[in-house]
Amino acid sequence: MSDVLLDVAGLSVHHGQLCAVDDVSFSLRRGEILAMIGANGAGKSTLLRTIAGLHKPSSGLVSFDGADVAKLSPNRRVRLGISLVPEGRRLFSSMTLEENLQVGAYRARRGPFDIARVYELFEWMPGRRKQSVWQLSGGEQQAVAIGRALVANPKVLLLDELSLGLAPIVIERIYALVPEIVAQGVSILIVEQDVAQGVAVADRVHCLLEGRTSLVGTPADLTSEQIDHAYFGADLRHAVPKEEADE
């Protein structure tokens, strides 16, 4: 069994004329947490959605567990072990908390996670399982979205903008669960706009700028200047007024 679980090579994705992801390559090892950081519109979400099968790449390869998955539908990829927690939670709004998890579990792979295990992970859930999801707070909804993906027993969990619209304390609580999920043998690919959060939790960091890879490394090796530069692009230095730069 190869050490590499997910391998993306030369991937480009277009939205019409716009090139959202441009020749990006990276690989995710088993049990690893990789944070994909970058500014708004850098192509992070598109990259994640392409790996999940929601966008068709215009070129490049996506191989998972040694097999080419580029042509498979999103539901087939779930069966192979790729689960995406989409941006904005995207819960089934006419359903209760538990029904959302049941949908996730209906076509699930075998593995350590089931609804009972998710209820252990999020202790507040059992008492509110009959509630409609729209009655839950943003953080609680995010937890349900993670639970819905976990019950499918993914080998890799793709997390898209977990922190979006949530209070810092809530974000902290959700990220605190990441090690527990990894301990079950799940690899994680995180997309984050919140750089500090992404860097704190990840084994490796991959920075995107306007669809291209601008920086790769481990959090320990990277200085914050390097990350800022990769995040905002070289243009930032040019933006400094000339007089100040001369001083």
Partner 1 sequence: MIWLNVVVQGVLVGGFYALFACGLSLMFGVLKVINLAHGDMAVVAGYVAVFLTPHLHISEVWSFLVVVPIFGLLGYVVQRTLIQKSIDRDPFTTLLVTFGLSVVIENLLLEIYTANGQSVNIGTLISKSWHPASIIYVSYVSLGVLAVAVVVLGLLQLFLSRTGTGRLIRAVADDREAAQLSGANYRHVFGIAAAIAFATVALAGIAYGMMTQFAPTSGGVNLLFAFEAVVIGGIGSLWGTLIGGVALGVAQQFGAHFNPEYQILAGNLLFLVVLAIRPQGLFGRRTALS
Question: Contact positions toward partner 1, by CB under 8 A?
Answer: 52-54, 73-75, 78-79, 83-84, 86, 90-95, 99, 102-104, 106-108, 148-149, 152
Which residues, in sequence order, are bridge partners of residue 68? 63
**Rounded least distance, CB 67 to partner 1, Å:** 18
The three-point CA angle 206-209-215 to 5° equals 35
Nearer to partner 1, 8 or 145 (CB): 145
Q: How far apart are CA 34 and CA 100, in angstroms?
A: 27
Nearer to partner 1, 148 or 204 (CB): 148
**Rounded least distance, CB 94 to partner 1, Å:** 5
Nearer to partner 1, 73 or 224 (CB): 73
Q: What residue spans of 184-247 are helical by DSSP H?
A: 195-201, 224-232, 235-238, 242-246
**Rounded least distance, CB 100 to partner 1, Å:** 8
Contact (Cβ atoms closer than 8 angstroms) between residue 170 and residue 179: no
Nearer to partner 1, 74 or 219 (CB): 74
Nearer to partner 1, 23 or 87 (CB): 87
**Rounded least distance, CB 93 to partner 1, Å:** 6
**Rounded least distance, CB 155 to partner 1, Å:** 14
**Running DSSP on this structure, what letter comes out for residue 96?**
B
* Helices vs. strands in the chain: H and E counts, helices first: 11, 10
Contact (Cβ atoms closer than 8 angstroms) between residue 37 and residue 195: yes
